[in-house]
Amino acid sequence: MMGTPSDLALLQKYNEEHICPGANSNKLLLLRSEGPRLYGRTGNNLIEFLHALQFAREQDVTLGIMSDSWAFGVVLKMWMSIQDDDWETQFEKAFCVKIFHSKDEVKGYDLVYPELTDNRDLTERLFKWTSNEPLHEYIGDQSKLIQSMYKKYNTGDGTQLKGAPVRDMCSGIKALFGDKKNVLYSVIHQRSLEGAPGEHLLKVVSKKSGCDPVAALHMGPDYVKSILKPLGMLKYPIVLITDGQEFSVMQRLLNDPEISPNLRLVPEEATWVGGDITLAVMSDVFIGNPASTFSGFIAKSRLALGKGHSYLFRAKNEKGEWHTTCGDTCIFDKKIMGSMS
């Protein structure tokens, strides 16, 4: 149950075959070999990959990826694991990219950003790049790319680069609910965002979206219940996924008599970035932090897959009641999210 046809109407036309960008150009945006540093963690890296794909489309340049690129290190551990000799062809077709195996193959191309030879510098440039497309077209383009990932989500079969085994994206769901079908549950993503810098970032988003400047950081019981109670979801499992840096959040939720009986944590052996993403994407209700790129990717994935009930932008009105200040599409809006869009 991934949404009604009307929910997906906006995305329909983007599912048609099209000519890959750069077909009539000699320009190449190259994602180079895996290096020691990237700009940010998983949420940032996913944005950098998606921005690179979007940049290639809008600028009509070829997106090239070295066969040992950091991009594969990000994507293949969760999606499109290597299971046969045809995986490169499948990857190229899915994302309209070209895979290179040596620097010699790149000769003759006119490189975009040739001065950015360090992965840290290039990924930062990609992260901070913003699309020039109208919002509805940008949502369509990005949603199609995200859909392409989930068509090939990893189930524990196959390998990553260099033969490393992959994990099951559904490991968190299986650890909590086994083989049960149609389980109703909510997910809270609590991200500390490393203190003061994270608080500042949320305040910036708050000014543009109208959301509360601290509530999504603290995830207080009142905040959580304002979402779950009207939906009748307090009586179903409430799963907390967290970076583990702010124990006080979990403690406050455990101390609340309405939340505590159904609060769940993923077993440590099943906790990893891919499993947490899938748990949140497939939940019936998702409560996240708009200043977290990890929450943002989850919310984007839910919209791309036709899922509703994502709550990232909330504030109290003049009556002291919590309400949503910005809809699901706000997570893609550069005027609100800036480089995180």
Six-digit token string for 156? 């524990």
Q: What is the pLDDT of residues 151-180, one digit of tens each?
A: 999 999 998 888 888 999 999 999 999 988
Give the pLDDT confidence score for residue 195 in this predicted structure: 52
Neighbours of 61 (CB within 10 A): 20
Looking at 18-134, list the stretches that DSSP marks H as alpha helix, in order from N- to C-terminal side.
Answer: 42-59, 70-75, 87-95, 119-128
CA distance 254 to 271: 20
pLDDT higher than threshold 80 for residue 220: yes
Q: Is residue 310 within 8 Å of residue 330, measured between CB atoms?
A: no
pLDDT exceeds 80 at position 313: yes
Q: pLDDT at position 153, please?
A: 95
Shortest CA distance to 337 belongs to which of 280, 287, 278, 297? 297
Q: What is the pLDDT of residue 155?
A: 95
Across the chain, mean pLDDT equals 90
Q: What is the pLDDT of residues 12-24, one digit of tens each?
A: 444 444 689 988 8
**Residue 42 · residue 78 · CB < 8 Å:** no
All domains in the chain, ordered by first residue: 9-161 (no CATH), 171-340 (3.40.50)
Model's pTM, two decimal places?
0.92
Per-residue pLDDT at 294? 95
Both structure tokens of 59? 């600028």
| Cα distance between residue 112 and residue 21, in whole Å | 14
pLDDT in tens, 257-308: 999 999 999 998 889 999 999 999 999 999 999 999 999 999 999 999 999 8
Q: Is the pLDDT of residue 25 over 90?
A: no
Q: Examine the pLDDT at 215 and tell me if it is beyond 80.
A: yes
Is the dihedral angle over the CA atoms 113, 49, 332, 201 positive or is it negative?
A: negative
